[in-house]
């Protein structure tokens, strides 16, 4: 009889915990986002809290079969144990530890204004709005021979060892690279933002087929410097003339 009473007491004590079991797990990352994975099809709004009193909606979306929810970045930004609940039958709740915000592709904004080669130096004028600065970006140089040269935080080829970046202020920069390579395309991206399926895909490129110049000496011998747009243009001669050092001669 005593054993039966003891078993009943244990069942009653564990009952609240059994009801509290949730069919999902949550995990935060340092972009300020949370991912929820469920063993059920759940289609409800997600709410978060820090004090278990005031709740705020966590924007995001469920995947096609309603088993994975991914929030937008920069929502759970503090190093904190948040509470989460899903507005669905049962009103499931769970705690999740978030490491704190460090970086999000959401705020990364990059654009290339121009790229050219002058006097053996390749230059790229670009703008970048990036929380972590310009040196965690990946810069890619493609040549006319199909060679891809990369300079980034995780990899940089020896051809980019003398690359420099000047800061003009207001998120405006000038990249210079002394090189013998004929670079025809320049690209900028970020390792965390370069996947085309990423929510915040960030990748910009520009073809650099024309060479900027100040004088004829900045151009190839069969070109001249057009002072209207300061670009190297091919020298065009009459049938009885030939090209010699940037000009036509008999």
Give 84-94 pLDDT, tens digit per residue.
999 877 677 89
Q: What is the model's pLDDT at position 42?
A: 81
Tell me: pLDDT of 159 over 50: yes
Instruction: Judge if 23-99 and 105-207 fold alike in CATH terms.
Output: yes
* pLDDT at residue 6, rounded to an integer: 46
pLDDT of residue 197: 61
Task: Please state the rounded mean pLDDT for residues 136-146.
Answer: 94
Give the contacts of 223 (CB within 8 A, at least 6 positions apart).
211, 216, 232, 233, 234, 235, 246
Specify the CATH number of the domain 23-99: 2.60.40.2320
Q: What is the pLDDT of residue 12?
A: 43
User: What pLDDT is attached to residue 133?
Assistant: 78
Instruction: Round the average pLDDT of the chain to a whole number and report it.
Output: 85
Domain edges within the chain: 23-99, 105-207, 216-249
* Model confidence, pTM: 0.68
Work out the percent of the chain whose per-residue pLDDT is above 90.
Answer: 49
Q: Is the pLDDT of residue 217 over 90?
A: no
User: What is the arithmetic mean of pLDDT over 138-150?
Assistant: 95
CATH of domain 105-207: 2.60.40
Check: CB of residue 163 under 8 Å from CB of residue 176: yes
pLDDT at residue 120 is higher than 80:
yes
Strand locations in the chain (E): 24-28, 34-38, 46-49, 55-57, 60-62, 68-71, 79-86, 92-99, 109-118, 121-129, 138-143, 148-151, 164-169, 172-178, 183-189, 203-207, 223-226, 231-234, 242-244, 247-249
How is residue 11 written in tokens?
């069942």
Tokens of 203: 């990748």
Instruction: Report whether pLDDT(3) > 60.
Output: no
């Amino acid at each position: 009889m005593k054993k039966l009473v003891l078993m009943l007491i244990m069942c009653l004590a564990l009952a609240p915990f059994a009801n509290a079991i949730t069919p999902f797990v949550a995990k935060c990352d340092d972009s300020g986002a949370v991912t929820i994975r469920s063993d059920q099809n759940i289609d409800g709004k997600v709410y978060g809290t820090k004090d278990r009193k005031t709740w705020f909606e966590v924007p995001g979306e469920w995947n096609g079969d309603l088993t994975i929810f991914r929030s937008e970045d920069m929502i759970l930004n503090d190093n904190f144990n948040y509470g989460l609940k899903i507005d669905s039958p049962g009103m499931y709740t769970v705690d999740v530890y978030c490491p704190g915000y460090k970086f999000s592709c959401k705020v990364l904004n990059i654009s290339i204004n121009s790229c050219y080669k002058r006097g053996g130096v390749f230059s790229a004028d670009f703008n970048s709005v990036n929380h972590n600065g310009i040196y965690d970006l990946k810069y890619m140089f493609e040549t006319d021979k199909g060679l891809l040269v990369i300079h980034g935080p995780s990899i940089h080829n020896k051809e980019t060892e003398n690359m420099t970046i000047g800061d003009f202020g207001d998120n405006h920069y000038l990249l210079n690279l002394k090189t013998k390579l004929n670079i025809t395309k320049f690209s900028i991206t970020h390792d965390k933002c370069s996947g085309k399926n990423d929510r915040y895909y960030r990748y910009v490129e520009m073809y650099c087929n024309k060479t900027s110049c100040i004088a004829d000496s900045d151009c190839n011998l069969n070109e001249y410097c057009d002072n209207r747009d300061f670009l190297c243009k091919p020298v065009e001669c009459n049938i009885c003339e030939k090209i010699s050092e940037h000009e036509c001669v008999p």
